[in-house]
Chain A
Amino acid sequence: MSLRIVVCVKYVPDATGDRHFADDLTLDRDDVDGLLSELDEYAVEQALQIAGEADDAEITVLTVGPEDAKDALRKALSMGADKAVHVEDDDLHGSDVMGTSLVLAKAIEKTGYDLVVCGMASTDGTMGVLPALLAERLGVPQVTLLSEVSVEGGKVSGRRDGDTASEQLEASLPALVSVTDQSGEARYPSFKGIMAAKKKPVESLDLEDLGLDGDAVGLEGAWTKVDSAAQRPARTAGTIVKDEGEGGKQLAEFLVSQKFI
């Protein structure tokens, strides 16, 4: 039987660009380029490796986001995913993680799955809670923050490196995994992959397709509220000294003056 893998990916603002907030205190997407979140590339890579080991597998990449988010799907398709699902709806603007996880869970259920693969966190919000929320919503085991993952005989197993211990985990499919940036370097799309991606199907869904009410998501439906966002004042220029042989001693003096020594 075919192994159905759904990879959740996010289209994020380029961290090297000038990211800031719009008037409604959501991300201003107009002034900065977007791309597939780097941490989600690891998820796509692990999905491709798991599919490569399976007799028969199909990988669907899924994203929730504006029109431009298709770029993130194209990147994943050019890496080797088979098809894509794009959830787009004006009412989604300003969704918090609770709203986003609801939409993703509905889309995953509609697509059908044996295994859901996520990155460890997005590179913009960096909350790192979406995989756990999805597992809770889907009612499947969460096998998260894996630096190594494999699927065999209807089970997923992997290694989770925590602060105080490294754990070997195991769960039965269907399950949800998230992988860290230690899971293995993500491949670059080949020219052939990029050309093939143009022909792969991208299904578009809106909230109505998922049986969701607009009020449940977006800025209005969010369970959290940002009251203010202020740019941090630029750091006042520090003291910069060229080492003429006494640099270490001068630094020690500074640390003494700041009471660190």
Chain B
Amino acid sequence: MAEVLVYVDHVDGAVRKPTLELLTLARRIGDPVAVALGSGAQDTAAVLAEHGAVKVLTADAPEFADYLVVPKVDALQAAYDAVSPAAVLVPSSAEGKEIAARLALRIGSGIITDATDLEAGDEGPVATQSAFAASFTTKSRVSKGTPVITVKPNSAPVESAAAAGTVEALTVSFGASATGTKVVSRTPRESTGRPELTEAAIVVSGGRGVNGAENFHIIEALADSLGAAVGASRAAVDAGWYPHSNQVGQTGKSVSPQLYIANGISGAIQHRAGMQTSKTIVAVNKDAEAPIFDLVDYGIVGDLFQVVPQLTEEVTSRKG
């Protein structure tokens, strides 16, 4: 079977969930060969093997942490040269997309980003994507070179599939441009203990109706009762009530969870663009005319300050 390169997104050896989802998709089109770079790269091998990686190529060098993006492109290109894969899959993070794009250009291949599904086709892998604020679904493929495809989180189930996961060291020689952009300092984002927004199975969001930063604890309490991530609309972020890193929408993050609960969010097009592909959508809003109600599977017309704490209490007691 053809080999498929899978770029591993990990933090000090802890593999992030979107990479495991990629392995599920990779197995549909070939044998996954994982590429793990940087500090802790070798520590990723066990979990990658449990999820179907036949081989894990690893490399570590100070360049990966000290310079932006390009050293990782050099390494992925070295892996590409070593393997001659049928496709290259990369998680659709901001950095993942940049790495994938530069690799695609170097190897003379087309790129598809933000795929939400992937299947084998007669002329190579066929990717499903959403367009125009998720009002359209397209099927696309790369028509030149080796397909380079980035895949959105939550696009496939994580499935265990034992494979050899043989670890091999990847030899990388860095090009002149690798050290062009220096990372002068890095401040890790403080963990909230909640799931990462784009990866979460459930997202609970607050908008203008939350009416102040001091009220967001109501949203957080519901999120915590469900084990969910917290999102915010642009209105809430622009008002300074919640960090931009939690913004859902066209200029924020695009999420596609199993369940999305929008509280005090009217549902402007910018917001819908970021959450419309959620499997089940629930909204709580005082305004019965709010456009968000056009999208919902279940909507409550009511005061979120009444409804949300009551829901939180119900969830907590039922789970308790």
What residues of chain A lie closer than 8 Å to B106, measured between beta carbons?
136
What residues of chain A lie closer than 8 Å to B29, measured between beta carbons?
none
**Does B307 lie within 8 Å of A254, measured CB to CB?**
no
Q: Is B47 an interface residue (CB 8 A)?
A: no
CB closest chain-B residue, reference A230: B137
What residues of chain A lie closer than 8 Å to B142, measured between beta carbons?
223-225
What 0/1 readout, one digit per residue, does chain B (129-142) give for beta carbons within 8 Å of chain A?
A: 01111111111111
CB-contacts of B22-80 with A (<8 A): 68-70
What residues of chain B lie closer than 8 Å to A39, measured between beta carbons?
251
**Does A162 lie within 8 Å of B94, measured CB to CB?**
yes
What residues of chain B lie closer than 8 Å to A161, measured between beta carbons?
244-245
CB closest chain-A residue, reference B147: A224
Q: Is B313 an interface residue (CB 8 A)?
A: yes
Query: Of A135, A143, A222, A232, which one neighbours B143 at CB under 8 angstroms?
Result: A222
What residues of chain B lie closer than 8 Å to A227, measured between beta carbons?
126, 138-141
What 0/1 readout, one digit per residue, does chain B (80-114) give for beta carbons within 8 Å of chain A?
A: 00000000000001110110111011100111111
What residues of chain B lie closer than 8 Å to A101, measured between beta carbons?
105
**Does A128 lie within 8 Å of B140, measured CB to CB?**
no
**Does B269 lie within 8 Å of A20, measured CB to CB?**
no
**Does A15 lie within 8 Å of B139, measured CB to CB?**
no
**Does A248 lie within 8 Å of B309, measured CB to CB?**
yes
Number of residue pairs spanning A and B whose beta carbons lie under 8 angstroms apart: 265
What residues of chain B lie closer than 8 Å to A238, measured between beta carbons?
281, 293, 295-299
Q: Nearest chain A CB to B137's CB is how many angstroms away? A: 5
**A interface secondary structure, majority:** mixed
A226 to B250, CA, bound (A): 22
What 0/1 readout, one digit per residue, does chain B (234-268) give for beta carbons within 8 Å of chain A?
A: 00000000001100001100100011000000000
A41 to B183, CA, bound (A): 26
What residues of chain A lie closer than 8 Å to B284, measured between beta carbons?
247, 251
A47 to B201, CA, bound (A): 39
**Does B114 lie within 8 Å of A127, measured CB to CB?**
yes
What residues of chain B lie closer than 8 Å to A128, measured between beta carbons?
94, 97-98, 113
Query: Of A20, A230, A231, A240, which one neighbours B299 at CB under 8 angstroms?
Result: A240
9-residue interface stretch from A83-91, A164-172, A189-197, A199-207: A164-172
Query: Of B140, B141, B181, B295, which one neighbours A169 at CB under 8 angstroms?
Result: B181
**Does A229 lie within 8 Å of B131, measured CB to CB?**
yes
A121 to B93, CA, bound (A): 13
In this complex, the interface size class of chain B, counting residues with CB under 8 Å from chain A, is: 35 or more
**Does A19 lie within 8 Å of B101, measured CB to CB?**
no
Query: Of A135, A137, A239, A250, which one neighbours B297 at CB under 8 angstroms?
Result: A239
Q: Is B215 an interface residue (CB 8 A)?
A: no
**Does A223 lie within 8 Å of B189, measured CB to CB?**
no
What residues of chain B lie closer than 8 Å to A255, measured between beta carbons?
259, 282, 315
CB closest chain-B residue, reference A251: B311
- The interface centre, meaning the residue of B102, B188, B319 with most chain A CB atoms within 10 A of its CB, is B102
Query: Of B144, B180, B189, which one neighbours A166 at CB under 8 angstroms?
Result: B189
Q: Nearest chain B CB to A112's CB is how many angstroms away? A: 20
A241 to B302, CA, bound (A): 9
**Does B138 lie within 8 Å of A15, measured CB to CB?**
no
**Does A258 lie within 8 Å of B250, measured CB to CB?**
no
**Does B141 lie within 8 Å of A98, measured CB to CB?**
no
Q: Is A49 an interface residue (CB 8 A)?
A: no
What residues of chain A lie closer than 8 Å to B112, measured between beta carbons?
224
What 0/1 readout, one digit per residue, does chain A (4-30) give for beta carbons within 8 Å of chain B?
A: 000000000001100111000100000
A58 to B300, CA, bound (A): 54
**Does A15 lie within 8 Å of B270, measured CB to CB?**
yes
CB closest chain-B residue, reference A236: B297
**Does B133 lie within 8 Å of A15, measured CB to CB?**
yes
20 A-B pairs within 8 Å (CB atoms) are namely A97-B111, A98-B104, A98-B110, A101-B105, A135-B102, A161-B245, A162-B94, A163-B94, A169-B181, A170-B182, A171-B180, A224-B141, A238-B297, A239-B299, A240-B299, A243-B301, A243-B306, A248-B314, A250-B300, A254-B282
Q: Which 9 A-B pairs have the closest CB atoms?
A: A248-B310, A243-B302, A223-B110, A141-B180, A252-B314, A129-B101, A248-B311, A132-B98, A223-B144
